[in-house]
Structures are given as structure tokens and as C-alpha cells.
Structure 1
Amino acid sequence: MPNKNSSISVIIPVLNEELYLGKLLNHLKSSSSNIKEIICVDGGSVDRTVEIAEQNGAKVIHSERGRAKQMNLGAKLSNGDILYFLHADTFPPKNFDQSILKAVENGFMAGCFRMKFDTKNVFLRFFAWFSGINLLLCRGGDQSLFVHKQLFEKTTGFNESYHIYEDTEFIARLYKNTKFKVVPDFVITSARKYREVGVLKLQFHFAVIHVKKYLGADAEELYRYYKKNIS
């Protein structure tokens, strides 16, 4: 059960993230005071990702490629009471660790932060506004995710058959098993995929993926659609 002495393991799945990882790890050090460990789970990077992680004091774990597999392995080998899953291009708010600990002490075994993109694009700012609403429809991996390790193990973690959508699929199970907290502070996440694909085009395809999942599409069908239209 949660207590005031709970510790946090930050788990970051990485693959060729040399452009962001060093900045993120420095940011984590300057924005928190109660992190037990930072784990970078590498899925086979061919750039300087692993070197940068080690230089900045992170624990590096080598894994098969796939964010669900990487995050599950990081959770399995972690030592903290609370798992905080974070993308390499998402920067948590100041004192995010204290916000997480407070939420857990108040009985919330899982939750996330609100989100802003690193852009002034009006459409993306409007879309990010919905991250403050505590509904499953408004959830996504870019908002980061904290979950008590006991609950993570009880809900069997991420479904490794999902090559995309693994965050939302897992969060849906968390909503069914616990009270989910949306912390009012903001993480800042990169809009790089939107810049690469196009804002309206990418958001349209994401919406189609959500609808497909709602209508019963399995993990492989979602991934085929993603590969054809986005990747």
C-alpha cells in the first residue's frame, strides 16, 4: 500500500533518441528530488542513445524492440514502489515526483499529467486542452503515466501484442481497476510527429485508430493501419 516513503522508478523506452535524451535526463535531475532510479530501456539504438544514458547516470537495460516489451522489462527490473513511464521527448513539470507521491498518498494508484505541445499551433493547443478531462477518450502516452507497482503487476502490465496503442490499451484497464488521477500540472511533449506527417492528417488517422479499436479491431489491424497511413 502507498506510504510517505514510497519511491519512484522512472522508466523511459528509447530507440535512437540521442537528440532528446540528454536534455530529458538533465531536466529530470533538476526537476525532482525523490527519484530512486532512472531506467532507459533500449530497443536497439544505433546512435549515441545508450552512451548518453550512461553518461547521465541512467540505468540502461537492453530489450527487444517494441515499447510495450521495453516498458514491461523496465518495470520487471525496477526497484521503486511507483513506476513512472515517460517518453524520451516528454518533459515533466517541476517537482513532478512530489505531485506523483501526493496523488498516491491520497489513494490514487495510477494517473498522468495534463499535456502541452512544444508548439503554438492553435489546433494542437486546442487538442491538448482535452488532456485535462478525466475520461479515457482523453488519455494518451504523451501525457506520461504513473502506476503503483502492485497495481501494475495485478493488471499484468502492457499488452505486448500491441506495437502501437499500447499506452491507451493499458490505461483502459487501469480505469476499470482503480481511481485514475489527472494531475493539473503540465508535461511538455514534442509535436515532432505532427510536424513530420502534418497536423490534420495525423490527427485524422489517430481518430480512425481510436474508432477502429472501439469497433473491435485487434492489435495487428491497428498496426497495419498505422504502417500504411502514418509510419
Structure 2
Amino acid sequence: MTGQPPKISIIIPTLNEARRIVPLLAHVRDNGSPENILEILVIDGGSTDGTVAMASDFGAKVYSSGRGRARQMNFGAGRARGEILYFLHADTMPPKGFDRLIVEAVGNGDKVGCFRLQFDTPNRFLSFFAWFSRFNHPLCRGGDQSLYITGQLFDKTRGFNEDYVVYEDVEFIGRLYQNSKFKILPGQVVTSTRKYEQNGTIKLQYHFGVIHLKHFLGAGPKALYDYYKRNIIA
């Protein structure tokens, strides 16, 4: 790429994240740089707990969209002004200097990628699964690892499939592996174990494994969501 380095638009989908949105925005501010980060877009799916006001007061650009993470992230991508889109969950903290690592990767021709994963508690079982995020294979990917992608590649690959209420990240990343070289960046994001605490660590990991298997065997978005609703506390 020539001229000025590309700028990053950070896109954060939210739904009732009042406890986490300000700590995340502060973390992004303290561990990134306005030299690389053009804007932070919070795309809300109908929060009733003050998330919208908190994010707006902090200085993020806040939009309301239809509920559903895929829909919210596509909505954000359509309004982003940066050449690079960085999708970040509200309970995931990127590493220090994450913006520099992303810009450097894009400058080297790596148009899409993610960070390795670490959980916010020292659970050995979860640490074992997080260890696999260092391997560059679609089976080792997930939305909690965050995702950067150039706007051009996002448009080319048509973004997230809004038919998926769950599994939207993995489905999209699977298509990206088919269309582009995928980069695993140095450093780790730290993500919350709150869903594991709600559902039980081994039980939840088992159900995630079943969803992966169902998708591999050809199950569509409705079947995956039906299984999710029956077995996992959201």
C-alpha cells in the first residue's frame, strides 16, 4: 500500500454490556493510538441497561441496528470510514499495541487475521483449548480472538452471513480461509469466561464441539441456533 498508512475502524457489537463497555473503551484508548485508530463504532442491538449512553459519553460513535451480531457487524462495516475493519467483542481485550500490529500486517500484504486467545482466568482446561489458537487452521478460529480485515476484502467476501444468529464468526472466517491468506498476529487477546461460568466449563466446550461438528456435517444456521437455544444459556 502507498501513501499514508491505512486507518482502523473498530467495530464493537453490543447488547446490554453496561458492565463492560467503558472498561473496554478505556482499554482500547490506553493500548492503542489515534495515529492508527480513526474511530470506534459501537453497534447496539437494543440494550436496556445504559450501554448506549455510556459508550456515547465515552466518545464512541454509537448506532442502533437490528439485533443479531452478524447484522450489527455488517451495519458497522457499512458506516466505517477506515480502510481496515477490526471486529471486537465487548468482553475481549486486545493486546497492547494491537493497532500497530494490525497496520503493519496489512502493510505487509496480510489482509485478514486475528490474535491468539487467552482467557481471563487460569483454568487449565480452557488454557489447553486457547493454546490451539496459535495454529493457522480454521478449526482453531473463533470470534473471541477478534478479527481484522481490509474493507475491500470484507466487501469482496460479502461480510457476515446474517442468517446465522450464532456461529457467524466461524462461518465467515471459514469463507475467508478459502479466499485469502489468513494471518495469526503476535500477542493475545484476553476474553471473559462469563459464558463458561454460566453454563459449566466442560459442558459448554462440549456443546461448542457439537456445533462445530454439526456445521462440518452440513447443518444450516437454523439447526445450529436451535441446538444452541436448547443447550446453552445465552
TM-score by length of 1: 0.98
CA contact (8 A) 1:63 1:73 kept: yes
The aligned counterpart of 2:26 is: 26
SS in 2 for 1:146: strand
1:184: how far off?
1.9
1:47 aligns with 2:49: yes
> Counterparts of 2:74 and 2:128 in 1: how far apart (Å)?
32
CA contact (8 A) 1:11 1:85 kept: yes
1:196 aligns with 2:198: yes
- Write out the 4+ residue segments of structure 1 that deviate beyond 2 Å after TM superposition: 1-4
1:153 aligns with 2:185: no
Q: Which residue identity is paired with 1:121?
A: N
The aligned counterpart of 1:6 is: 6
CA contact (8 A) 1:9 1:36 kept: yes
SS in 2 for 1:201: helix
Q: Which residue identity is paired with 1:227?
A: K
In structure 1, stretches of 5+ residues that fail to align are none
Deviations 1:83-142 (A, max 9, x none): 000000000000100000011111110000001000111000111000111000000000
1:135 aligns with 2:137: yes
TM-score by length of 2: 0.97
CA contact (8 A) 1:3 1:105 kept: no
1:13-92 paired onto structure 2 within 5 Å: 13-33=13-33, 34-92=36-94
The aligned counterpart of 2:182 is: 180
> Counterparts of 1:5 and 1:127 in 2: how far apart (Å)?
35
1:222 aligns with 2:224: yes
The aligned counterpart of 1:120 is: 122
SS in 2 for 1:29: helix
Superposed CA RMSD in Å reads 0.9
SS in 1 for 2:184: strand
Aligned length: 231
1:5: how far off?
1.6
> Counterparts of 2:3 and 2:172 in 1: how far apart (Å)?
24
Q: Which residue identity is paired with 2:211?
A: I
> Counterparts of 2:43 and 2:218 in 1: how far apart (Å)?
31
In structure 2, stretches of 5+ residues that fail to align are none
1:2: how far off?
7.1
1:208 aligns with 2:220: no
Deviations 1:14-41 (A, max 9, x none): 0000011000000000111121000000
> Counterparts of 2:128 and 2:3 in 1: how far apart (Å)?
37
> Counterparts of 1:43 and 1:55 in 2: how far apart (Å)?
18
SS in 2 for 1:40: strand
SS in 2 for 1:83: strand
SS in 1 for 2:73: helix
1:4: how far off?
4.9
> Counterparts of 1:190 and 1:75 in 2: how far apart (Å)?
24
CA contact (8 A) 1:4 1:101 kept: no
State percent identity of aligned pairs: 58
